[in-house]
Structure 1
């Protein structure tokens, strides 16, 4: 039988939550910063009826015409079944087309439509502006250092 929690005559009321211990971890800072970036990006993409994942897929397809769905899943680091939902949405909106790969009837090449290219141009400009505002006050040397550190962390994946 478990021991009941000790009873206290006084009720403690927390007026400030401390995250001091968590602030010692880089991952915690990265997650907090990502939350800010993600929320701001969602607001930026909302007028275009895109989410972060659909935007990412559109950009990768425009930048890599003819890529296969499996390549897109790998580039986005998502499971192939989850990618199908994203591809279906982009195709339904007539932003991309799926063409069968001639020498592999099971594979599809992804290509952007004219409407997709126009949306890509508008959204890349909006996201570029969003990042400029969000990162205002952070000098170029710091940006380069942060990106280099994140790349190093990404490359260390699986070495633990």
Structure 2
């Protein structure tokens, strides 16, 4: 019987079949994120900021002089993973590392004027991308989705 199945033609018409995955929230969140991330990258262009770099810039704008350790914590990533992100922002001249008085081992991140300008442009583009991408949702649905996602994120802090 196994040999018979192996010789049968491959099936390609699965588009409308329900999968166990369709009922899993994690799977749907991941697939939705893939759609949002691809559109985000397209909206910001080939030389634009990646979602992680955009997030890091956003937080340094909102929290000037944040330390690299605090930024890593805020982003939910390892401090070692933050180094490449900060290096990219620094190479673009969007932020500078400064010494923290009293502790030469710690560096604070300070946005530059170029960083603030780049962020203002990027955040406007990202807002337009989200508005366009989520245009099939009502305002109430978008608000509910955002509240639910924030509620899930808060679980990590508990």
TM-score by length of 1: 0.88
The question of whether the paired residues in 1 share the 8 Å contact of 2:68 and 2:107 is answered with yes
Whether the 8 Å contact between 1:45 and 1:52 is mirrored in structure 2 is: no
- String of CA shifts for 1:12-47, please: whole Å, max 9, x gaps: 421223452111111121111111100000112225
Q: Distance in 2 between matches of 1:11 and 1:47?
A: 43
Q: Does 1:124 align with 2:119?
A: no
- Aligned mates of 2:47, 2:65 — CA distance in 1: 24
Evaluate the alpha carbon distance shift between residue 157 and residue 63 of structure 1 in structure 2; reply closer, same or farther with a 3 A threshold.
closer
Is 1:8 matched with 2:4? yes
- Structure 2: gaps of 5 or more residues: none
- Partners of 1:6 and 1:33 in 2: how far apart? 36
TM-score (norm. length: structure 2): 0.89
Unaligned runs of 5+ in 1: none
Corresponding position of 2:42: 43
Q: Do the aligned partners of residues 128 and 44 (structure 1) sit closer, same or farther apart at CA in structure 2, a change above 3 Å counting?
A: same
Larger % of helix: which? 2
CA distance in 1, matches of 2:63, 2:13: 49
- The number of residue pairs the alignment matches comes to 155
Distance 2:157 2:123 in 1: 32
Contact 1:99 1:109 in 2 (8 A): yes
Counterpart secondary structure, 1:8 = helix
Partner of 1:106: 105
1:80 alignment counterpart: 79
Q: Do the aligned partners of 2:95 and 2:109 also contact (CA within 8 Å) in 1?
A: yes
